[in-house]
Amino acid sequence: MSGIEGKATLVTGGGSGIGLGTATRFASDGADVTICGRTEDKLARACEQIRAGAAPGVTVQYVVADVTSEDQVRAATARAAEVSGRLDILFCCAGGAMHLGPIADADADGVRATVELNLIGTFLCIKHAVPFMAGGGSIVGMSSGAGHFPHRHLWAYGMAKAGIEMLVRYAAEELADSGIRVNAVQPGIIDDELMAFITAGGPLFDDYMAQTPISRPGTVQEVADAVRFLVGPEAAWITGECLAVDGGHHLRRGANYGLLLEGP
């Protein structure tokens, strides 16, 4: 017994990377899984992968949704709740960076888009999940080491992720009376398709490794395991927590993304 059998879950950004890995972990532990994202073909392939490792009788489905659209988020949470009439677990994994570089040279549209996708998208998902969590539930937001300590020139992304961390704390305090726990994870450099341009090697990867006490990139599975812990009964007395899953990177300085801007 894993403790999340029969739970209805929604994973945003579930078509690849950490979102897909976490959805796969949920399904293997017996939870019904709905993933959402913007690209239908990717979501369909992801569902096939999730089903291959799912426990017997588990429902696996997808819904195309952009987390910056309130109407689409509303529809996604409702679809996830259709399986059992409620939503038990939400993992807000969708995110990304649309600006990299110095503040003085920043493209304001790129900064706004970064905040919309990460922070506003997480807010909308929490807002529309709560009505389906009568009697309790668990929400995990996706932060980053960049949201906790500075990574040079990654400030727009880090600013948005720091907002998620404060949102998580506010939501945890407000929603505790409803039996809803809210936490976040702060991954370091993860060896997945999103970070492949870094983990393939080069000065930025070397800088990451020099600043990471357990000097290797993390895996999708390691983050998925941390999320699984936070949403399960094992973490029943944990809320408002931002959990670093980063090999100890937070003990040193952030990575210098200026190394990407310098070129070869």
Exposure on the CB side of residue 133, measured as CA atoms within 13 A: 24
User: Burial of 196 by CB count in 10 Å (0-12 exposed, 13-18 middle, 19+ buried)?
Assistant: exposed
Residue with tokens 């992720």: 161
Q: What is the pLDDT of residues 6-50, one digit of tens each?
A: 999 999 999 999 999 999 999 999 999 999 999 999 999 999 999
pTM: 0.97
What would the mean pLDDT of 218-234 be, rounded to a whole number? 98
CA distance 100 to 197: 15
Cβ neighbour number for residue 150 with a 10 Å cutoff: 14
Q: State the average pLDDT over residues 70-91.
A: 98
Structural domains of the chain, with CATH: 8-248 (3.40.50.720)
Active site residues: 157
Which segments of the chain does DSSP mark as H helices, in order? 17-28, 40-52, 70-81, 108-115, 121-129, 155-175, 196-199, 203-210, 220-231, 258-262
Residue 155 has pLDDT above 50, yes or no: yes
Sheet holding 32-37, edge to edge: 60-64, 32-37, 8-12, 89-92, 137-142, 180-187, 242-245
Cα angle, residue 160 at apex, residues 155 and 162 outer, rounded to 5°: 90
* Sequence letter at residue 42: K
Q: What values do phi and psi take at 32, rounded to 5?
A: -75, 135
Q: What is the mean pLDDT of the chain?
A: 97
